[in-house]
Structure 1
Amino acid sequence: MIRALVLVAAAGLGPSAAAAELAQLSVLRQGQEKVAVVVNRSGAPVEVELRADVWRGMDSEPGLPQRRVLAAGEQATLARIWPVAEGSQVELRLSAVPGPPHAVARDVVYSLPVEESGFTLGQGFHGGYSHGDEANRYAIDLVVDEGTPVLAARDGVVVAAMSGHAEGGADRALADRANFVRVLHQDGSMALYAHLQEGGVNVRAGDRVHLGQVLGYAGSTGFSSGPHLHFSVQVNGGMWLVSVPFRMIGPDGFLPLK
């Protein structure tokens, strides 16, 4: 018996925050074999890894785990699997992380992703409330009113976007229910714009966006104590997301992020 499980590390806000937007695993029958096929559903490269959580009486070509970088929209066969003993059983797990692995972020000055008036800087780098993990260590929170336009801080291509979540609050169980836009830059780094309004996203995967373009509208979805924009620059460190320091210009010069 073969079961296919899909677990996706995506937004740095929770393990399943963009599962449907990144990759899809299908297990197809071909004679006595089962074929594990993965499709990159995002608008940018995605690194995927296929492994078995349960493996009894089975063999495969190639062996598991298998890791691959898929281009936007690419479909690939990761493994062919067949039984070699009675009572065979396997449970497959696909993990996927957006962006090319081990990209090096350039030292770019980012534009303010909201209008210059009407915001305050909440948490900065190493914020003790929710910026303690590797994916969010160098994130910032810009406190703004609900519905404030969220602007592209740099040109890029939309990797994934989510706008269907309605719930938000100061409960970590909501961490994977934040609406967001993720934008891939030319150097392989990615900007994350999170906690957007339900239905408050103007772009979709594959869209090319330009500096200052309205991506969506600020809200308070997911693990959020009030309306704000969570912004970070991340790279794929090799099947996990790593936030990196960045500089951002505001109305009075560089924001004091550290």
Structure 2
Amino acid sequence: MRLRLAILLLVAGCTTEVSAGPAGGMSTGPAPLARLDVVDRGDGPEAWAENLIAGPVEVMLSARGATPSAQPPLPARATVPARGRVLVSRVERADAELLLEVVPGHPGARPRDVEYAWPLDTRMLHVAQGWGGGFSHRDAENRHAVDFAVPEGTPVLAAREGVVMQAEAGFAHGGLDSPEGVDRANFVRILHEDGTMAVYAHLAPGGVHVRQGERVRRGQRIGSSGSTGYSGGPHLHFAVQANRGRRLASLPFRMFGPTGVLRFAEAPVDAARP
């Protein structure tokens, strides 16, 4: 029997209200990474996490308000393989309000020293914002991201081979008038063999050319640059990330660009923001 518990699903920085029952719906926004399914086979409610993407995710199950008795006790953590399903905990109270926090990637990722290829089919090099950039590269997820300014429609290439873990293509607009639009950008996330993930973001409407689960080779076209989401103009936002225990962290990376090896330096912490 499926229980219609009240559930709050926290996914990749986006909070979405859902229901565990078949009538539950998702609000408009980025596609969820996982689904919380609560079932009762006669021995009490079981909270299962179902991974909806083509790469591992880490989840943490907790409760809002009074914490119910559970086995294992809440908060309970689990790692769910690509498109897999894992029992996170058995909860005693059927009226508990459960929360599932989901972060992409395996927490045990061990990054290798890899030289990334130039991710654009162009000889032009214009860094609009680099490591530690004051506009939007101050948080852990983006500290070592780079924004390459290019005309809209520039072919975006895979900088390293891997599997398309996520492909978000449902957004058509961008701009700086609504900061909440940061979660409404078209992007591709590629999982590498060492557990790291490359993010290619702000792709154009109709600018995602790969599908989830597809294996891509280095240099393969995966999209077209654009300005969807919280963006001040056409560019490619590129970052290499890893799950560092229920949080995403961007990693320093080496890249060979149009003019040779690119050398990025992090901006001073006290640099003034524009």
TM more than 0.5: yes
TM-score (norm 2): 0.85
1:228 partnered with 2:235: yes
Distance in 2 between the 1:55 and 1:112 partners? 51
- Structure 2: how far apart are the matches of 1:225 and 1:76? 41
Number of the residue aligned with 1:146: 152
What whole-Å deviation, never above 9, does each CA across 1:101-133 have from its counterpart, x for those lacking one?
A: 042321211111002324411111111111010
What amino acid does structure 2 have at the position aligned with 1:142?
F
1:137-172 alpha-carbon deviations (Å, 9 max, x no partner): 000001111111110000011111100011211132
Question: Could you give the per-residue CA deviations for residues 56-110 of structure 1, whole angstroms, max 9, x where no partner exists?
Answer: 6x42222111111111111122122223xxxx74211111111110423212111
* Bigger Cα displacement from structure 2, 110-119 vs 127-136: 110-119
Picking from 174, 179, 203, the partner of 2:210 is 203
1:81 maps onto 2:91 in alignment: yes
**Alignment of structure 1 residues 45-64 onto 2, 5 Å:** 45-55=56-66, 58-64=68-74
Q: Per the alignment, in what secondary structure is the counterpart of residue 14 of structure 2? A: coil
Residues 157-200 of structure 1: per-residue CA shift (max 9 Å, x gap)? 11111000112111322111111100111111110000011221
Conserved in 2, the CA contact under 8 Å of 1:6 and 1:19?
Answer: no
2:14 corresponds to: 15
Structure 2 contact 8–15 (Cα < 8 Å) conserved: no
Q: Hey, what does 2:174 align to over in structure 1?
A: 168
Runs of 4+ residues deviating >4 angstroms = 16-19
Change (3 A) 1:78 1:66: same
Matched-pair contact (CA < 8 Å) for 1:7–1:19 = no
Distance in 1, Cα, partners of 2:46 & 2:111? 36
Any stretches of 5+ residues in structure 2 without a counterpart? 17-28, 266-274
Number of the residue aligned with 2:35: 24
The equivalences for 1:230-249 within 5 A come to: 230-249=237-256
Alignment coverage as a number of residue pairs: 249
Amino acid at match of 1:217: S
Report the counterpart of residue 69 of structure 1 in structure 2.
Answer: 79
**Stretch of structure 1 that moved more, 193-202 or 237-246:** 193-202
Gaps of 5+ in 1: none
Distance (whole Å) between structure 1 residues aligned to residue 73 and residue 222 of structure 2: 42
Determine if contact 1:112/1:249 at 8 Å carries over to the other structure. Answer: yes
Which residue identity is paired with 1:254? V
Specify the SS of the correspondent of 2:204. strand
What per-residue deviation string (whole Å, max 9, x for no partner) do you get for residues 41-68 of structure 1?
A: 1111111111111236x42222111111
Q: RCO greater where, 1 or 2, for CA within 8 Å and sep 6 or more? A: 1
Match of 1:116 among 99, 122, 128: 122
Amino acid at match of 1:199: G
SS of 2:180's equivalent in the other structure is: helix
| CA distance in 2 between partners of 1:7 and 1:118 (Å) | 39
Worse-superposed segment, 153-162 or 163-172: 163-172
Between 88-97 and 231-240, the greater mean CA deviation after superposition? 88-97
Q: Partner residue of 1:179?
A: 186
From 4, 21, 28, the counterpart of 2:7: 4
Q: Deviations over 1:16-39 (max 9, x none)?
A: 598634211112233372221111
**Counterpart AA for 1:15:** C
SS class of match (1:7): strand
Q: 1:185 to 1:106 in 2, by over 3 A?
A: same
Report the RMSD for the aligned CA atoms in angstroms: 1.9
